[in-house]
Amino acid sequence: AQTVTQSQPEMSVQEAETVTLSCTYDTSESDYYLFWYKQPPSRQMILVIRQEAYKQQNATENRFSVNFQKAAKSFSLKISDSQLGDAAMYFCAYRRRGSGTYKYIFGTGTRLKVLA
């Protein structure tokens, strides 16, 4: 069975600094998606960034980038130039790729605090 592990329940970063959130996963599949979702306080969960496992290039979305290490089954999220609005719960998630209905496997989340 697939698992997703986020070993940092809480992290803090100074405004304008860089922070990295860790995620490891376990799967026997070779084709899958990995996601980072952001859940701001009392607000809707939204997708931050997505990585397709067959792509070697790390995904980037503005200040958000990932370090995808397929062999190590590691998928960390780097937030550069942190802003107060980045404060949220961040969830790492896995889903098998392909047509069909596959379960999404979520980690337990990392609460990020941004200090002014």
Partner 1 sequence: DVKVTQSSRYLVKRTGEKVFLECVQDMDHENMFWYRQDPGLGLRLIYFSYDVKMKEKGDIPEGYSVSREKKERFSLILESASTNQTSMYLCASSFWGRALGEQFFGPGTRLTVL
Binding site for partner 1 (CB under 8 A): 6, 9, 33, 35, 37, 43-47, 50, 52, 91, 95, 97-101, 103-104, 106-109
Please, which residue, 64 or 104, has the CB nearer to partner 1? 104
Please, which residue, 62 or 99, has the CB nearer to partner 1? 99
- Let me know: does 34 contact 75? Beta carbons within 8 Å: yes
Shortest Cβ 99–partner 1 spacing (Å): 5
Shortest Cβ 27–partner 1 spacing (Å): 15
Shortest Cβ 109–partner 1 spacing (Å): 5
Residues 6+ apart with CB under 8 A from 47: 35, 36, 37, 38
- Let me know: does 32 contact 55? Beta carbons within 8 Å: no
- Amino acid identity, residue 63? R
- Amino acid identity, residue 72? A
